[in-house]
Structure 1
């Protein structure tokens, strides 16, 4: 495991070997995790050797300060390491120092005081409009039962056409669609209520499902039912989407929640303002909605170039 020379004293290296063996024999961590921790601590000790200008001693580990850890992370970042890599580096160092501390051999206060580097937020992965529309059509569904195909299409249509969370769509009742409404009252996270427009295509998809479903639907009961007549579970829709990915050649990023992302992204691309999209999505904070500005930067720049008076 240690093919690269580490300029540290034998006593420290022996302790490090014991720690790595403990990760394997007692904690039973995966091999790739142990290998990563070995590499991370090796790189840290090599850096520390240059930092103290001599072979590393156990006393050097005991005397580590947050500034020393920050210097190492800065060194790694300068070498091109990203936030996720730095976070893993810190996890390996922290594990080793805590192991030493439990044996009364070192003080891990310095590394405990360090916070992991802030991880970048992953941007939503929207579908293109053609794929989103295909998922919303009953004739695209794979289900053999016409009513189940209509059900899946109606759910997907509500996710994309109204920007609903899957739990919100599955929480709807037949009463919500009585009298051909033009909007839906949705209760989302934190019991926050919002009004979302109901597109004619989404209403038609729901009505097609209601016409075909073989079970009696109670007005205040669940609208969407499973094959055995019980309330439809989100796992079933997740599974149906997985099958559709293969049939339509979609990426692994095509999930039910991606349809909600697509709703927001396509509205923004068409000139929708963030405040309105925030209300439609039911986000408590505008900062949550602003992630979509990173998805469609090209469109924003196009609008800026066309509209700014100093262009």
Structure 2
């Protein structure tokens, strides 16, 4: 049973039972990651806790069915007053709607008012990739050669960052690799398990394979086949925070903006492939996007870059 399902809520027993069944459904049938289940559950707990005060007592399934648009607007206004931005409010509404749809499919009614309220508009922001020259410096271990760090640590960080830029991996995907999955030697591809446990094949260029090989050769820990490939200084699994900190330090040294994060290397992977004539559908598959529309945002990034270059260079701009 997901951890979110075991938390007592300020609701009647019928809602508590339905909430537990819903979180189990998210994990077992929709196959969402534990973090996604936790986030959905947290948003719905906020909603149900709000209803306790709003309705003057713990909510029952009948209470949920009788909610009106005014009640939902009151919830969204409360979350806004607590400092949430539009994106977080939209996520909270989406979670509550998911719970409502589950109730309807389970024959336990629904909170139909949730679907009658329009989600807040979100200003669409474009990904912020690095310049190709900056990305190459980030993934080069020599960039940090002057730091007082053990060589294997510098090699480790360079290998992880190389996987993000050279293969378009998410940081969680890179850190979940085992020693047996290390892309070295004759291994020319990676099989990556991404969001929703969806698997995809990713080719590995020689520069990335070499970075991983150097790290393995220098790593002082015994790397068993079924254990994490990337290790912390005490031998445990490498924390994403360590990679983020390494990126932060290089960002300062290279004079890069705060948008230069590990995830920006994944954006850079997609943008640079597209700029060199990469096929959008192929890039979608490499990134593991479920929808092509998610990948199409990189065409806007490339267009924005061309417009900026034109504006800066054209004599009549």
Q: Give the TM-score of the pair, scaled to structure 1.
A: 0.59
Query: Cα–Cα, structure 1 residues 194 and 120, in superposed 2: closer, same or farther, change >3 Å?
Result: same
Aligned to 2:58: none
CA contact (8 A) 2:284 2:292 kept: yes
Give the secondary structure class of the aligned counterpart of 2:296: helix
**Matches of 1:143 and 1:273, distance apart in 2:** 42
Higher-Rg structure is 1
2:280 corresponds to 1:283: no
**Matches of 2:178 and 2:209, distance apart in 1:** 13
2:148 corresponds to 1:131: no
Q: Deviations over 1:283-310 (max 9, x none)?
A: 0111111111110016789xxxxxxxxx
Query: Cα–Cα, structure 1 residues 149 and 285, in superposed 2: closer, same or farther, change >3 Å?
Result: same
Q: How many positions carry a matched residue from both structures? A: 197
Q: Paired residue for 1:120, among 117, 123, 135?
A: 123
Give the secondary structure class of the aligned counterpart of 1:296: helix
Q: Deviations over 1:192-242 (max 9, x none)?
A: 110000010000000000000111101111000001110001011111111
Q: Which runs of 5+ in 2 are unaligned?
A: 1-69, 71-84, 90-115, 308-317
Aligned to 2:263: 257
2:240 corresponds to 1:237: no
Aligned to 1:224: 230
**Matches of 1:225 and 1:124, distance apart in 2:** 29
Displacement of 1:120 = 2.0
CA contact (8 A) 2:185 2:209 kept: no
Q: Paired residue for 2:154, among 134, 149, 158?
A: 149
2:136 corresponds to 1:140: no
Displacement of 1:127 = 0.3
Aligned to 1:176: 181
Give the secondary structure class of the aligned counterpart of 2:192: strand
Query: Cα–Cα, structure 1 residues 291 and 251, in superposed 2: closer, same or farther, change >3 Å?
Result: same
**Matches of 1:143 and 1:285, distance apart in 2:** 44
Segment of structure 1 superposing worse, 292-301 or 221-230: 292-301
**Matches of 1:242 and 1:284, distance apart in 2:** 30
Aligned to 2:212: 206
**Matches of 1:253 and 1:153, distance apart in 2:** 19
Q: Which runs of 5+ in 1 are unaligned?
A: 1-65, 67-82, 88-112, 302-311
RMSD: 2.6
**Matches of 2:186 and 2:141, distance apart in 1:** 20
Aligned to 1:12: none
Q: Give the TM-score of the pair, scaled to structure 2.
A: 0.58
CA contact (8 A) 1:156 1:256 kept: yes
CA contact (8 A) 1:241 1:256 kept: yes
Displacement of 1:115 = 3.7
